[in-house]
Amino acid sequence: MTAENVGQDLIQCYRDSPQPSYKVSNYFKIYEELFGHLRGTECTFIEIGVLNGGSLFMWKKWLGEKARIIGVDLNPAAKKWEAAGFEIHIGDQGSTEFWVEFFGKIGHFDALLDDGGHQSFQQIVTLEAALAAARRKCVIVIEDTCANFLAEFSGHGQHSFLEYAKASSDVLLAKTSTFFPGQFPAIQSSSAVEKLASVQSISFYSGMVAYKVDPIAVDCPYLLWNKEPDAAAATDFRYAGATSATIEWPDMFSRKTVTVKGGRLGDA
């Protein structure tokens, strides 16, 4: 498949769906990247927010007949899609209790796509419940993250899902804290580290954040040399050049230029 054709099969499945659905045009290539490995397999795919039903049919056709497609919605009317062969669960994605019951029923899942209520607390609760329930390798995707900036969804204040995701990407570095004794800030919340222990990567896309999870391959990184350096090893020049840079900070809501300083702590 060429780069130009990436996502085209899924777009055709989307167009062929017998029921309505709307998507952002750049999503299809992202779906291909995140979920393409599941095509033709006996996978379990969960989608949150399915009332009109169109996306359920798209996923079934694209992933294949072996796929188990599970829909979650708060509106009881979504139950009608069980007649088309889909598993439908009615519940509040903002409720931890719902998710405990839900994951207890369905068992392992390979992918979860949150296209539900788009409120930050719902997205965070859903993510944390899915992380806690993951037993094998899977991918958890929160969609339509642009909602975090919309006035309609602004009740989160400074604590949006995107801010949660950015903060959780920092937590992935906790495993390297022992590399730098006396330099890495002291970790105050071991529970935050443990919550994300199975996350292998967090990827940010335009409109989505994807958490790739593998609870079995939880590793603890360590430093290693391919060969021990000798007296003739090169001198480290990392602090020998410029000591600062002026940067236009990437903030789409304000224009600001900052000076980012370098150098070692204690240097003049």
pLDDT tens, position by position, 187-215:
999 999 999 999 999 999 999 999 999 99
What pLDDT does 221 receive? 84
Reported as a pLDDT band with limits 50, 70 and 90, residue 1 is very low
Predicted confidence (pLDDT) per residue in 105-162, tens digit: 999 999 999 999 999 999 999 999 999 999 999 999 999 999 999 999 999 999 999 9
Tell me what pLDDT residue 2 has: 42
**Contact of 61 with 129, CB cutoff 8 Å:** no
Nearest to 167 by CA among 128, 114, 132: 128
Q: What's the CA gap between 153 and 141, in Å, rounded?
A: 19
Q: What's the token pair of residue 194?
A: 């443990």
- Supply the pLDDT for residue 26: 95
Which tokens go with 205? 């896309």
Are 93 and 74 contacting, i.e. CB atoms less than 8 angstroms apart?
yes
More confident residue, 102 or 175: 102
* Closest CA relative to residue 7, chosen from 24, 19, 20: 24
Is it the case that residue 47 has pLDDT exceeding 90? yes
User: Do residues 47 and 59 lie in contact, with contact meaning Cβ atoms separated by under 8 Å?
Assistant: yes
Confidence of residue 7 (pLDDT cuts 50, 70, 90): low
CA distances from 206 to 27, 181, 226, 259 (A): 8, 37, 38, 28
pLDDT at 227: 86
Using the structure block, give the residue that is written with the tokens 């801010």. 163
Mean pLDDT, rounded, of the chain: 93
What pLDDT does 238 receive?
A: 87
Query: Percentage of residues in the chain with pLDDT exceeding 70?
Result: 96
Q: Do the beta carbons of residue 35 and residue 45 sit within 8 Å?
A: yes
Q: What are phi and psi of 245, to 5 degrees?
A: -145, 145
pLDDT of residue 268: 56
User: Going from the N-terminus, what domains does the chain have, and what CATH number goes with each?
Assistant: 3-213 (3.40.50.150)
- Looking at residue 3, its pLDDT comes to 40
pLDDT tens digits, 227-268: 888 877 888 888 888 989 999 999 999 999 999 999 877 665
**Which pLDDT score, from 0 to 100, does residue 178 have?**
85
